[in-house]
Each structure stands twice: as structure tokens, then as C-alpha cells.
Amino acid sequence: MDLSTLSYQKFVQFALEQTKLRTTLTPLPSQEKFKSLKANDNKSVLNAISFCAPKIRLLRSLTIEDSQSMLVLDFAAFSKPEYDAPIFCANAFTTPSRSIVVLDLNPLYDVTIHPDYKEKYYKKLMPLSEKYSELLPWGGKLTSESLKFFSPIVIWTTVASSQLVHDVLFSAFVDYFKAWLELIDEATDEKDESLVLLNREAQHKYLTWRAEKDPGYSILKKLFGETLAKDLVRQFLFDGVDSLGSKTFLDYFPEYRLENGTVNKKRSMVGKSYETRPWNSAGEFIAD
């Protein structure tokens, strides 16, 4: 399809407007640093924004739009470590033929081993996973390791690009972002410093995973060159990876260690799995 009628700007604008209705956003230094970022191809249009708010450590968005070849949305929002709230995650990669999408409130703690966390945040949101299951169906096998960062309401899809899919995706983005804002509104700050520490480490582990293994990296490298792409990933997209903790990728994910001590470049050690949605509509894990 012709991408020139589609844009992810409306998604970002909606999120900013909704957030401003509830809290005060303050621009972060990383926004200033990356706002005049330019791509090597001289045609992709970029938009990079980043903010914090009293309960929000980082709300950032990167869009890359070239109507001839691709539209990219990478939007995420992280609470301050005083809150154990999920991470808002909206990633979309759209070409004239297909759209690859992950939309989720990524859990801070793996829901398959923390049922209390699942109960606390996802029980009442489960209807969302059904609402879009027809038009944005499960995308098939994915990197197995990614699944522990996903929630039972995750939308993971790879579908033919169309205006309808784009509109449905916007509607889903609206629902999921409002749900996230609601959770942030309701969140009360943790007073127990040892639990705040756990929250901080959980965010750091997530950032470490994504800064190392995000599937978008090869495209960022092509557009910006290796050095800038790395800075973009570590200082903008996953800001906090170098400050929220001191553990390394191999401390968190030792199975990726090669004999010479470096990180295995493979995305998955286990391989891809989960051909179908591994949660049922009650949020129970149904894959083995």
C-alpha cells in the first residue's frame, strides 16, 4: 500500500495530550541532544522527544517516517523506581507490505513467576487482549526470551499494512496508553527502600535486554551509522541502562556468554517459539 497516507505522529500527539491532562511533563536533556538527529538517507523524517514527570522517569518517543519505504514508531514510558508500574511499550515497523507491532504494558516482573504482580495489574485489563485479537492477531513465533518481558495483554502481530490496520492500531494504542496512565495515577510510592531497589533493578534488566537485543537496531545502524545508533539506543531509547544499575547484559543473561567472554550476537539462545498466543483470555499461561 501507499504509506504516504499513514503516520505515527497522531499516536505521539495523542499520548502527549493525554499525559498533559494528568501531569506536568518536563523535557529531558536527551530530547535536546537528539532532536536534530538526521538520517544518512536524507529523506527519512525523524522526531525524537523525551520527558519526565513527577511519577514518570522517562517518557520518550522516536518516529522515523519515509513514505517510500517505512514508518517506525518506538514509544515507551517508564515510571520512577518508587513505583512498580508496568512499562508502556508501543513498537511498530510498517513497510508498504507488512506491519510488525508490539503493543503492551510490559511487566516489571515476569508474570509467569510472579502471579501476584499479574493479578495486581492485568486481571482487570484482560478484556483488552480479546478486543483486538481478530484484527491484530498473534504474530507467530518470536524470540522465546522476549516473552518474559511481555504481559498477558500483549498485542504482538505481523499483518498486511492497510488503512484499517493503522486505524485499529491507533484505537488499541489509545486504549493501552489510557490504561497505563490510569495505573500511574493510582500508583502509590513504595516506602520500603529494598523494594524500590528491586523495581530499579527490574527496569535496568529490561533496559539492558532491549539495548542489546532490540530487533530495530540493524535499521538504526543503517540509518545513522554504528556510533550514533549506539548513542541513540543507550542515551535516548533506553536511557537508564548506564545509570540505573551496574550489572551487565551477561550478568542478567549469562546464557549469551561466548567462550571468549563476549556477548553472543544471536538474538535468541533458546530459539523462536510460541506459534500461538501463550495466554488464554483469563491471562493463564497455556504454553508449556
Pairing state of beta strands 45-53 and 87-94? unpaired
Which H or E run contains 203? Answer: helix 193-213
Shorter beta-carbon distance to ligand BLA: residue 190 or 267: 267
Question: Closest approach of Cβ 65 to ligand BLA, in Å?
Answer: 11
**Does 219 participate in binding ligand BLA (rule CB under 6 A)?**
yes
Shorter beta-carbon distance to ligand BLA: residue 3 or 191: 3
**Cα 129 from Cα 21, distance rounded (Å):** 26
Instruction: Choose among 17, 31, 11: nearest CA to 237.
Output: 31
Choosing from 93, 109, 122, 274, the residue that interacts with ligand BLA (CB under 6 A) is 93
Choosing from 75, 122, 149, 253, the residue that interacts with ligand BLA (CB under 6 A) is 149
CA distances from 132 to 119, 171, 276 (A): 21, 9, 15
Choosing from 102, 136, 183, 229, the residue that interacts with ligand BLA (CB under 6 A) is 102
**Does 77 participate in binding ligand BLA (rule CB under 6 A)?**
no
Task: Provide CB contacts within 8 A for 41, sequence distance 6+.
Answer: 66, 223
Choosing from 215, 221, 235, 242, the residue that interacts with ligand BLA (CB under 6 A) is 215
Return phi, psi of residue 8, to 5°.
Answer: -95, 0
Assign residue 240 a region (left: φ > 0; alpha: ψ between -120 and 50; beta: otherwise): left
Question: Closest approach of Cβ 175 to ligand BLA, in Å?
Answer: 18
Please give the residue ranges that form the binding site for ligand BLA (CB under 6 A).
72, 74, 89, 91, 93, 100, 102, 106, 142-143, 146, 149, 210, 215-216, 219-220, 267, 272
